Amino acid sequence: MSEDVRSMKSGTSRRGGSTTRFAGRAGRRVATVTAALGALAAISAGLAPSAVADDVQSKQWYLDAMGAKDLWKVSTGKGISVAVIDSGVNSASKSLSGKVFPGVDVTGSAGSATDDYAGHGTTIAELIAGTGAAGGIKGVAPDAKIIPIRTRLTAIKDKSVINKGDTTSKAIRAAADSDARIINMSFGSDFPLDGGLEAVKYAQSKGKLLFASVGNGAEEKNYIGYPAKYPGVVGVSAADKSGQVGKFSESGNYVQLAAPGLDIPAWCNNDFQSYCTGDGTSMASAIASGAAALIWSKHPTWTANQVLRVLIDTAGRDWPKDKPSRYLGYGLIRPARNLLHGEGSPGAGNVDPITNEKTTAASTSGATPSASVPASSQPSKSTSGGETSAAGSSAKSSDSNDQLWIVLGVAAAVVVIGGGAFAVLRSRRSG
């Protein structure tokens, strides 16, 4: 048996000399949403005539796999705010009722941060913190709060702001200045963002934990862009129900973690009448952000470094931690290993767990850094990780770091990522 990993081409748009990768892919009827200069990648929006499905939560397979019901007995994300830099967040969504702060709109266009002309940002917010009310998406951290930061993605609604320059860096800085502990960036650009690195460093200095989608262009050019490429940003790839990386999910030294990103519910479009099924690293980044919110809520005095270190320590993998996979990084997020089993050492609060370098800010909550930890041989974003073949590709490899666990001698195995499990089907390649 083998798990079918869907292969769909990602869209690109060029404006002002920049290329935009779509960070989400609709698994049903697709209509792409493009953006302007330095634009951010958007979830493709399906046009479905039916009302919101009553069983949308039954399609959230990853919640069962993560053992979410057991996790929520320990942590629900309460006390944690997540900044969603995206197309805006529709605060009228019943699943987000009372959970969306006013936020910031950096586009210079009409509207506010709670206006979403694409549907993408609202999907991301619900995947992180939705309550599931009225049959909507249930978030990984249902008691977390959302701070929307609306950026260039919506400029298509207002052509007058297209030439005002890239607003991504401004958005990151706005998120850094907010009360959010976590910043989610489900978008990507093939080119460095104006002031992007400096904005990321600024956010780090404020003690923020930053997640970004790595992109969906693996079958075309596989070029992980920005902001996932910046040091200090956790690049997230997309895995399916079998624990295998999606064919579209881009690979490289900038992949730090993997999270579910195939067959995920998403708003079909910006009329917010129905959900479709989507694929994309956008969703994976959101789910990773939600998992981080659960851990941080349980350990509110930890720093961003400590939360990330525990996510890395407890990630599902069968390869050495100091040789992360180019496809799944340090492995699949498994928050239950910490929340339910107490696994993962937070280590030093002021040491980056990836680079092992000291950071300028130890905490957003005044926590005292713990004793320093010895440097390891974990590679930084400027070094190479494990060389493996992408899921479904024709390349052969003697190892299989494109999957979460490899079990030899049996037809199937189970990877426990929470109280539940991912079914991992045997597919080791010869080589």
**Which of the residues are catalytic?**
86, 120, 282
Distances, alpha carbon 300 to alpha carbons 43, 70, 387, in Å: 32, 19, 36
In the chain, what's the furthest Cα-to-Cα distance? 62
- Sequence-ordered list of residues with C-beta below 8 angstroms from that of 327, at least 6 positions apart, any chain: 237, 245, 249, 251, 255, 258, 388, 390, 391, 401, 402
207 backbone dihedrals φ, ψ, rounded to 5°? 80, 20
**How many Å apart are CA 86 and CA 116, to the nearest integer?**
9
At 375, list the tokens. Answer: 């440097």
CB 216 within 8 A of CB 250: yes
CB 107 within 8 A of CB 158: yes
Place of tokens 């979403």: 116
**How many Å apart are CA 359 and CA 49, to the nearest integer?**
50
CB 89 within 8 A of CB 80: no
**How many Å apart are CA 220 and CA 398, to the nearest integer?**
24
Q: Which helix (H) or strand (E) holds 104?
A: strand 104-105
In the chain, what is the straight-line distance between the N-terminal and C-terminal CA atoms, in Å? 20
At 195, list the tokens. Answer: 């002031």
Q: Which helix (H) or strand (E) holds 210?
A: strand 209-213
**How many Å apart are CA 39 and CA 21, to the nearest integer?**
9
